[in-house]
Amino acid sequence: MSSPVVKLNSGYDMPLVGFGLWKVNNETCADQVYAAIKAGYRLFDGACDYGNEKEVGQGIARALKDGLVKREELFVVSKLWNTFHDGDKVEPIARKQLEDLGLEYFDLFLIHFPVALKWVDPAERYPPGWAGADGKITFSNATIQETWQAMESLVDKKLARSIGISNFSAQLIMDLLRHARIRPATLQIEHHPYLQQKKLIKYVQNEGIVITAYSSFGPLSFIELNMDSAHNTPTLFEHNVITSAANKHGKSAAQVLLRWATQRNIAVIPKSNDPTRLAQNLEVTGWNLEESEIEAINGLDLGLRFNDPLNYGFYIPIFA
């Protein structure tokens, strides 16, 4: 089974369901990518910061060699890390990431966070992380406009087919659109029943920008990071609103959570190394939740954000 697609404002089609590469460990990454391609996944969402792009590339290369898929059938997403926002640093790091992946172009390249940090030489530390070698945050003076213009040049040079943003607020998007020559194709945000960001989503979709949701299962993605708020928040997989809908439709709780997003034209990027769940996560578009079920899930919003620099000990209050 493969995913249906959504048309981006760049003219390209993006699968509505993809495979997320965050926290996929290096030892198993190549095999997981290969297995996901075999299962029907065509979108792979990665980043410099995940530290596994070489392994992702190995999995893709094996699948291409074995004839499972053609390059043009894949939609590979990566992200520009905070330490590479200076205009003259964007293209060199994009080329390095492409080399790691063994690819000639990104299907979509995103600004990972609206935070410009001091450049870190990849030869010294890669991925660079949030803090410098001294454990402190050092900001760069690069503006969003400077960074975006460098991102646009990646499209001009055919290093990226589409470009987009991640973790941006509505105000920053408004500012970006004032000067953008190439509009962002997508906005990637944390999105689950406990954090729904309804006003942001409405604004962005009205601007013709596609939303991609990460951490669709809420606290589950963050428990292993020893985040107190994740440990203290009821799991969505066991919430009666989710389980009752799952039982009614003969689906898993994960499928209900993913369908809640895709039914509203929000792309999702779950991951799993379990073959059954891998297949189930793709089966989240050929059936519908009832409106009453969607409204019940909408009622779970707590405004509870997990993926925040503040939760990792860095005083960068971008979501304040």
Which residues are tagged catalytic? 50
Paired residues of 7 in beta bridges: 13
Paired residues of 117 in beta bridges: 139
The Cα 45–Cα 75 span in angstroms is 9
Q: Is 112 annotated as a binding residue?
A: yes
C-beta of residue 81 within 8 angstroms of C-beta of residue 96: no
Q: Count of CB atoms within 10 A of residue 55's CB?
A: 24
Tokens matching residue 278: 């891998």
Token pair 């004032």 in the structure block, residue: 178
Give whole-number Cα distances, 52 to 23, 42, 103, in Å: 9, 18, 14
Task: Please give the sequence-ordered ranges of beta strands (E in DSSP) within 180-252, or none if there are none.
Answer: 186-190, 210-214
The Cα 142–Cα 184 span in angstroms is 19
The Cα 306–Cα 304 span in angstroms is 7
Residues marked as binding for substrate? 112
Residues marked as binding? 112
